[in-house]
């Protein structure tokens, strides 16, 4: 019965996200399904975070009416006033379902074989996640322990920050684990792990839905297998780390920003900003990708309208408002409770050159010898260097350059902070690279697909709406 209630918590998160995405323009059913889980679970953890920040009890009695009530109110308003805020795509939900059935009937044996392989792998991950509690030391002490305290005390207090370590890490995943605890009725180290295979499944839906708009069904399934089949990602879908959730939000945010660059609809921009808030609220280094995407957005807008165009700064504001608010409030909370960063700067200059060399070697080892992703990073480098013009298109710029920017900034942090001691000779760098590995795979697929003539025309550009 515990497992059933935990799964119910996942489905409720998916349903909440599905409602919030109802007015997003030009979104396919698969893309909406892939985005819905992330939007729903992030909405839940943000509501719980607001309660914690304001000193209100983080309890189901207080939070549930907000978590469920606001989306239901939005759905009711949408149905009462469909002309203004309802879905504007001409295909109804019934018609979409009918189209899905007819398309499935026409798939060939290769497509079904690839789908079966992905689903078998996912089921293995889900079963392995279910048969053991959170037991890996980092996942247990850094995240599940925080969730257990919040579940018990229902309050964010000074004693909480004095007890947990590191205290400066964001609380999205611990609060999501609290959500599952609410549905189960008690804290359960087995049940909370249902969150992580769900992130992987949502990522699969999103990638396949994205590629299906450009490629044939079989080729799109091959592309999905390349993106979602990373061995390290399957491993992290079994544990309670924050690496896979951040990788999901990085990929989802970049996909949404890519659509905005092509279609120019503000709704995609706001959705991209929510994913950026998800990055910031999941892990501290998620802010790197959020900032890089903001810089790329500014570059795209300046190229389109110039620095004097009002739309340039409006677009940047629409994107930045949510992640900036989350980052600012969390920073104020940490300041209030006297919590500082666990990274210390390095100001020495004597061995700076040797540190640069050590970090470079660590990156080479992590990218090409560890993590079982030699082929991915080799092809990614080919795409960036050999087909650089294709990486600068509106379709691909948000799929490629956030990866480059993130890895570059992480390299600088490794040299200039005490992150150096964790990445040289350890596995931390491999986990950091995982945050952008699925996005790197998707960017590689798109660039090489265009270069080799596998992809069809991108979605038509549109005006703001």
Question: What is residue 456's predicted lDDT score, i.e. its pLDDT?
Answer: 62
Task: Give the pLDDT confidence of 175-194 residue by residue, as tens digits.
Answer: 999 999 999 999 999 999 99
Is the link from the previous residue into 336 a cis peptide, with omega within 30 of 0?
Answer: no
Residue that has been written with the tokens 């009695």 in this structure? 61
Mapping DSSP to helix (H, G, I), strand (E, B) and coil, where does residue 417 land?
A: strand
> Is the Cβ–Cβ distance between 262 and 29 less than 8 Å?
no
Tokens encoding 389: 């013009």
Domain boundaries along the sequence of the chain = 2-83+110-349
Structure tokens at 402: 């956030």
Bond from prior residue into 166 cis (ω within 30 degrees of 0):
yes
pLDDT of residue 280 exceeding 80, the answer is yes
Would the pLDDT of 222 be above 60? Answer: yes
Of 440 and 3, the structure prediction assigns the larger pLDDT to: 440
* CB-based contact 282:172 (threshold 8 Å): yes
Report whether pLDDT(197) > 80: yes
Reported as type and span, the H/E element at residue 113 is helix 109-130
pTM above 0.85, yes or no: yes
pLDDT tier at 302, thresholds 50, 70, 90: confident
Q: Which one of 21-35, 53-67, 99-113, 196-210 scores highest in mean pLDDT?
A: 196-210
Strand partners, 112: none
User: How does pLDDT run across 136-173, given as a tens digit for each residue?
Assistant: 777 888 899 999 999 999 988 888 888 888 888 999 99
Q: How confident is the model at residue 350 (pLDDT cuts 50, 70, 90)?
A: low
Name residues whose C-beta falls within 8 Å of residue 330's C-beta, 6 or more positions apart in sequence. 49, 53, 170, 280, 281
Band (pLDDT 50/70/90 cuts) for residue 460 is low
Q: Are 351 and 424 a contacting pair, CB within 8 Å? A: no
Q: Tokens 């996005």 correspond to what residue?
A: 439
Say if residue 398's pLDDT is above 70: yes
* Least-confidence region, from 82-86, 319-323, 449-453: 82-86
The dihedrals phi and psi of 345, each to the nearest 5 degrees, come to -70, 155
Specify the pLDDT at position 88.
44
**How confident is the model at residue 96, as a pLDDT?**
57
User: Contact at 8 Å (CB) between 312 and 298?
Assistant: yes
Least confident of 155-164, 179-188, 195-204, 347-356: 347-356
| 413-416 LR contacts (CB < 8 Å, sep 24+) | 413/343, 414/359, 414/362, 415/346, 415/352, 415/355, 415/356, 415/359, 416/345, 416/346
Q: What is the pLDDT of residue 272?
A: 95
HSE at residue 395, side-chain half, CA atoms within 13 A, is: 21
Residue 66: predicted pLDDT: 93
Above 90 in pLDDT, residue 418?
no
Lowest mean pLDDT among 31-45, 88-102, 315-329, 401-415: 88-102
Q: How confident is the model at residue 347 (pLDDT cuts 50, 70, 90)?
A: low
Q: Percent of the chain having pLDDT more than 70?
A: 89
**Amino acid 99: pLDDT:** 61
Confidence of residue 104 (pLDDT cuts 50, 70, 90): low
The predicted pLDDT at position 49 comes to 94
pLDDT classification of 108: cutoffs 50, 70, 90: confident
């Amino acid at each position: 019965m515990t497992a059933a209630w935990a799964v119910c918590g996942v489905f409720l998160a998916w349903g909440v996200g599905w409602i919030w995405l109802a007015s997003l323009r030009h979104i396919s059913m698969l893309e909406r399904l892939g985005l819905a889980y992330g939007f729903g679970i992030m909405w839940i953890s943000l509501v719980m975070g607001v309660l914690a920040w304001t000193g209100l009890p983080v309890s189901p009695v207080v939070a549930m009416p907000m978590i469920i009530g606001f989306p239901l109110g939005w759905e009711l308003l949408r149905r009462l006033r469909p002309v203004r805020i309802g879905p504007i795509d001409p295909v109804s939900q019934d018609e979409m379902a009918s189209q899905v059935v007819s398309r499935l009937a026409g798939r060939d044996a290769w497509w079904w074989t690839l789908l079966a392989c992905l689903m078998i792998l996912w089921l293995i991950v889900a079963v392995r996640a279910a048969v053991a509690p959170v037991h890996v030391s980092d996942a247990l002490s850094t995240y599940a322990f925080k969730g257990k305290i919040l579940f018990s005390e229902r309050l964010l207090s000074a004693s909480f920050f004095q007890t947990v370590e590191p205290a400066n890490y964001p609380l999205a995943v611990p609060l999501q684990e609290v959500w599952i605890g609410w549905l189960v009725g008690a804290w359960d180290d087995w049940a909370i792990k249902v969150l992580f295979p769900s992130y992987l499944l949502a990522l699969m839906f999103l990638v396949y839905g994205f590629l299906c708009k450009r490629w044939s069904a079989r080729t799109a399934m091959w592309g999905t297998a390349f993106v979602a089949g990373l061995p390290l990602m399957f491993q992290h879908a079994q544990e309670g780390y924050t690496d896979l959730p951040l990788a999901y939000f990085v990929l989802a945010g970049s996909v949404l920003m890519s659509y905005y660059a092509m279609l120019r609809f503000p709704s995609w921009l706001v959705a991209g900003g929510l994913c950026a808030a998800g990055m910031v609220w999941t892990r501290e280094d998620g802010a790197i990708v959020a900032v890089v995407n903001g810089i790329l957005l500014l570059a795209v807008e300046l190229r389109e309208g110039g620095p004097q165009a009002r739309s340039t700064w409006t677009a940047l504001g629409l994107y930045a408002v949510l992640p900036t608010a989350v980052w600012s409030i969390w920073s104020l909370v940490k300041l209030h409770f006297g919590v500082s960063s666990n990274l210390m700067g390095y100001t020495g200059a004597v061995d700076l050159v040797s540190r640069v060399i050590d970090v470079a070697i660590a990156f080479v080892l992590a990218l090409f010898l560890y993590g079982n992703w030699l082929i991915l990073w080799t092809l990614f480098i080919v795409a960036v260097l050999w087909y650089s013009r294709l990486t600068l298109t509106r379709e691909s710029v948000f799929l490629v350059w956030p990866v480059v920017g993130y890895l570059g900034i992480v390299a600088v942090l490794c040299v200039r902070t005490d992150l150096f001691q964790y990445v040289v000779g350890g596995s931390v760098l491999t986990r950091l690279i995982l945050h952008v590995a699925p996005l790197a795979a998707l960017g590689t697929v798109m660039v090489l697909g265009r270069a080799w003539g596998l992809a069809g025309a991108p979605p038509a550009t549109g005006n703001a709406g």
